[in-house]
Structure 1
Amino acid sequence: MIKMVVLISGRGSNLTSLLNAATSGAIPARIVGVISNRPDAMGLQTAETHGVPTCVIDHRGFAEREQFDVAVAAAIDGFTPDLVVLAGFMRILGQAFVRRYENRLINIHPSLLPAFPGLHTHRRALAEGVRIHGCTVHFVTPDLDHGPVIVQAAVPVLDDDDEATLAARVLVQEHQVYPLAVRWFAEGRLHLRNGRVWLDMPQADGMALIAPQSVAG
């Protein structure tokens, strides 16, 4: 069983899905710490309810981003995790930080990368008129939202969608694929080759694409 630390900035809905999966035994992992850059993040209460230690490192107390990164890294290392998980952590992490946790730092992004990196993904998807949207779990690299893809989940964009309805549909998929990606990592089934993720799984070649409501494996 691996140990993981989760970084959050807000409500922590993906944290909740990971906690539930860990508690039920669906993933062979234990969340040993939750770190937030915001003292008012609702996810901190969720972690405490589950008996998980928490730590707040308020980014507003640091003049330089590098100083904040060093403080976060020190907190992470105090938990000695095998995996670091970004779950709605709304801070850009510097190159030194990312390299420190290379190949054991993952993130979930609310779009089908490489489409719509950055913020306001659902609004931009609607503005572009795409018919398929979704989310991506990926390894983090110094290039923002461009790390090797582990798994993606696709949802249809409906004619009457607005930003809120599309976001809600994508979030359902996020709560399925993030625990799945963690499970694959914990089981040692993920391998990086030439900048791509390979998955030890029958008929799996490179990244996996999960259709709505059909997570398996």
Structure 2
Amino acid sequence: MQIKMSLDGIPSDRDKRRSIINSATGLLVHEIGHVVASAKQGFPSDLIIIPKDISAHEGMSYIDGKFKKIMEVNPSRHKSCLAGGFMAEHKIFFEPALHRSLSDILRMAKIDKKSIVCNADVKSYVEGFIDSQSDFFGIKDTINIKSIYRKIANFIRGNDKPIEGFYIIPMRIWFDNIHDKTDEDAIEALSRSNDENRWHDFVRQIKNKN
């Protein structure tokens, strides 16, 4: 898996930047964006799922069912959670990967009762959302995204045994006290969590959904 160890030094060249956006690096930023945006809305995420082969499966972030029910009856908060992925890409890479967020964008548009029938509609909707949400992710949020990213990237780089092709990252390991935990603390905890047999049934459910 091709993955950057940190989000520093993102190239200014658009083609090089898009290559990173479309890699596992971009996918991980996207999922972390969902986690951080959901946390800002009061909905803690349980897991991030990153496939070893990003061409075969999508990444995912999971919110506990009881929080998901609350989220879904609060349209504004729900939209913020859905937007977290492409807003993180925009914050880190200066542009979102619209193909990765298409299902989120369609759900957001449905909440807004707006029709999206072509790629131009998707682009217009996202640009309008970005323009209206300049403070969506602040400085602290960006620091959190980069810090979480670095820990997970280091874990993935050092772990050659994903569970049936998926890296399962329990977010509560460090999220609440992110600045109090070292990379080594987080990586050790992640390694322990990925040894647990309980994840295998969960992975099979993910594969069935894909």
Q: Tell me the TM-score normalised to structure 1 length.
A: 0.29
Tell me: higher relative CO, structure 1 or 2? Use CA pairs within 8 A at least 6 residues apart. Answer: 2
Q: Which has the larger strand fraction?
A: 1
Q: Which has the larger helix fraction?
A: 2
Q: Tell me the TM-score normalised to structure 2 length.
A: 0.29
